Copies of this chain bind each other. A is one copy, B any other.
Amino acid sequence: MLTLASDFGSPYPAAMRGVILAQTDDVEIIDIAHDFPRQNVRTAAFWLREILPWFPPAVHCAVIDPGVGTDRAVLAVDAGEHVLVGPDNGLLAPVARKLADDEPRWYRLQEPDARSSTFHGRDVFAPLAARLHGRRNESLKSESNLVEHASPVDLSFPTPTIDGDRIVGEVLVVDGFGNAITNIPGEHLDELMGREVRVNGESVPVGRSYASVEPGARLVTIGSHQNVELAVNRGRGDAAFDLTVGDRFSLEPGVDVVEEPFEESG
């Protein structure tokens, strides 16, 4: 199994498929996405981390590569039962750590030989992924042309700042529905379901599902990535909260939350 991800749009990924299929006829190729925001390594790194772990062991070839044609390294990574292939710009760092329990092994391709300097997806990464897909199930260490790569470019996402009840988080990405996915672990909402929180000071209900509020209304929920998500039922959370990627915001319990567990009989 070999997955492809890129910011190439259409029709360039088809050339990558052609190259792989011309090189090996026994491969199942799966597109993760080819419409990642152009040359936005950070957003693609987030999605790769969230999506690739759902797959069975595979070779994953991901190319968001603003430095194509420069001397940035061409990477292959042993990440648990998965192999990752992509440019050395941080793109693979978060998913590699997640797949490999923090111990990925990094290699780089020696002397990449590219037909073009502008489309390494087709000319370098796809052929390398096809070759690694075809090998026996050994470590990449024994592959010719690969050498250990000591210091891959790192990329990590910020952690939220917690100050008592007040958390300052950041929007990591906005998905196609307009949900603002943040870096605050969803568990912070566990005790607040059905109540209200304040987002940048404004009261917003907390719900398990989008439909827990009226269509068009805002809510705070636990998204499918287990992070706090700022959303609107059947609408766009990013617009309604006026927050986009990289924006920071504060999250506090709502003023209306008065816990008086011992006064039930009162």
Q: Give the B-binding residues of A (Cβ under 8 A).
A: 1, 3, 5, 8-12, 14-15, 17-19, 21-22, 25, 30-33, 35-36, 38-39, 47, 50-56, 66-70, 115-119, 122-123, 175-177, 208-212, 221-224, 226, 229, 234
Contact = CB atoms under 8 A, between A and B. Distances in A.
Contacts of A9: 175-177
B14 A116 contact: no
A51 B15 contact: yes
**How many copies of this chain does the complex contain?**
3
Contacts of A31: 14
A19 to B, nearest CB: 5
A202 to B, nearest CB: 22
Contacts of A12: 175-176
Contacts of A115: 224
B122 A66 contact: no
Contacts of A18: 51-56
Contacts of A1: 21
Contact of A208 (B3, B47, B69): B69
Contacts of A8: 176
